[in-house]
Amino acid sequence: MSLLKQYQSVRSHSVNLCKNLLIEDFSLQASEEVSPPKWHLAHTTWFFEQFILVNYLKGYQVKHPQFNFLFNSYYNAMGRRTARNQRGLMTRPAVSEVFEYRAYVDEAMSQLIQDAKEEVVKLITLGLNHEQQHQELLITDLKYSLWHNPLDPAVMDIQEYSIEAKSHWIDVKEGIYEIGYSGNEFCFDNELKAHRVFLEPFSIASSLVTNGEYLEFMDSGGYEESRFWHDEGWSWVQNQSQKAPLYWEEIDGKWTYYTLAGRKDLDLEASLAHVNFYEASAFAAWKGARLPTEFEWEVAQSKFSWGKRWEWTNSAYLPYPGFSIAPGALGEYNGKFMVNQMVLRGASVATSENHSRPTYRNFFHPQFRWQFMGIRLAKSL
């Protein structure tokens, strides 16, 4: 597929995700951590404008001088920006103006792509992968915001919950293994550099933990037993009176959960989702197992099926040997977040097509769970 076709395909998918939204839905922001659909559509456009068009398309004029303030996310080098918890307060520009902004930038990008040099092609590819990341965030942020509505709005069906195969243990021998990306296609800088690690022998589950298995943990008093939890996790349980995964609700004695296709009865055989690192670790302890490290996951991934859930690992998000931060604002993309976060591996039902690979490193703070986060168990041999 040509670069222009790739660009058009990715950009169209963002718009298609919003096809069933009401105009009022575009500005929903239920918490600081999530962003409104309108902001995602504009921010991904801003990325192409500020990092590519302004620098590489002769004579290009920005759509509006204040869009840099409104749609910058966290790039300090790009100047002042809207507070993250205030993105939903923007009634202007209107949704129609955001779509006009996308069309304006798309037209300019189409011109630039025609004879783009290698340096620009690499930036465009980064921009497309950046937009694919925001496509997943648009889905998960929207779900979190709509969940607060007792009407249980149904806006899309991405088959969030499907039956998980019966699990068995997969043994992996001790040895020295190569970790990280070593190919010639695109990867993010946090997947570099490829390096070797030594692993002790371990076993890893062939399947993800199911809703039914997690319900057993709940019914056995898992949220009342401090011995299974990290100290921070136990404080989180106590301070927020937690007793179930995000979106679960017991109605008339029956467990249900909210999905973007409306409220559904709990499917006991489907893959668990929306648990945080604390919950994942506590469940693993209750089962007499543990979470895999990200290195164990990467070494074993070819032996099991993955892609339904981002899978918590027991690895802190840290740089690989030889990692370097790129100069300029784009150097803020990953490196500055390598503290106090945990790595997740795999992909999810909300991940865009062609946006997953075995070396992909997702990362979140341990208390967050609004992404499609699940559990795969491991144990030492």
User: Alpha helix (H) ranges present in 154-264?
Assistant: 211-219, 231-240
Q: Judge if 8 and 69 occupy the same domain.
A: yes
Q: Classify residue 250 as exposed, middle or buried by CB count within 10 Å of its CB (0-12, 13-18, 19+).
A: exposed
Element (H, E) at 335: none
Per-residue pLDDT of 54-90, as tens digits, reads: 999 999 999 999 999 999 998 988 999 999 999 999 9
**Is 103 a domain residue?**
yes
**Is 24 a domain residue?**
yes
**Is 182 a domain residue?**
yes
* Closest residue by Cα to residue 14 from 34, 44, 36, 35: 44
**Is 163 a domain residue?**
no
Q: Judge if 255 and 324 occupy the same domain.
A: yes
**Is 154 a domain residue?**
no
Q: Judge if 176 and 222 occupy the same domain.
A: yes
The single-letter code of the amino acid at 178 is E
Q: Judge if 136 and 207 occupy the same domain.
A: no
**Is 266 a domain residue?**
yes
Quote the pLDDT of residue 333.
Answer: 87
pLDDT band per the 50, 70, 90 thresholds, residue 27: very high
* Closest residue by Cα to residue 314 from 336, 339, 335, 284: 284
- Rounded CA separation 217/333 (Å): 38
Q: What residues contact 206, with CB distance under 8 A and at least 6 apart?
A: 165, 167, 168, 169, 170, 303, 304, 305
Mean pLDDT across the chain: 97
- Rounded CA separation 14/134 (Å): 8
pLDDT(154) > 90: yes
| Three-state secondary structure call for residue 270 | strand
| Domain end (from 113, 148, 183) | 148
Backbone angles phi, psi at 37, to 5 degrees: -55, -40
Q: Judge if 255 and 135 occupy the same domain.
A: no
- Rounded CA separation 10/135 (Å): 9
CATH number for the domain harbouring residue 105? 1.20.120
Q: Judge if 121 and 259 occupy the same domain.
A: no
Structural domain that includes position 244 = 169-380
Q: Judge if 52 and 175 occupy the same domain.
A: no
- How many domains are there within the chain? 2
Q: What is the mean pLDDT of residues 284-290?
A: 98
Helix, strand counts (H, E) of the chain: 10, 12
pTM (2 decimals)? Answer: 0.97
Contact 161, 273 (CB under 8 A): yes
Q: Judge if 247 and 288 occupy the same domain.
A: yes
**Is 159 a domain residue?**
no
Q: Judge if 143 and 177 occupy the same domain.
A: no
Quote the pLDDT of residue 255.
Answer: 98
Q: How many beta carbons lie within 10 A of that of residue 60, not counting itself?
A: 16
Q: Judge if 134 and 201 occupy the same domain.
A: no
Q: Judge if 121 and 187 occupy the same domain.
A: no
CATH number for the domain harbouring residue 310? 3.90.1580.10
Per-residue pLDDT of 289-329, as tens digits, reads: 999 999 999 999 999 999 999 999 999 999 999 999 888 88
Q: Judge if 188 and 334 occupy the same domain.
A: yes
Q: Classify residue 378 as exposed, middle or buried by CB count within 10 Å of its CB (0-12, 13-18, 19+).
A: buried
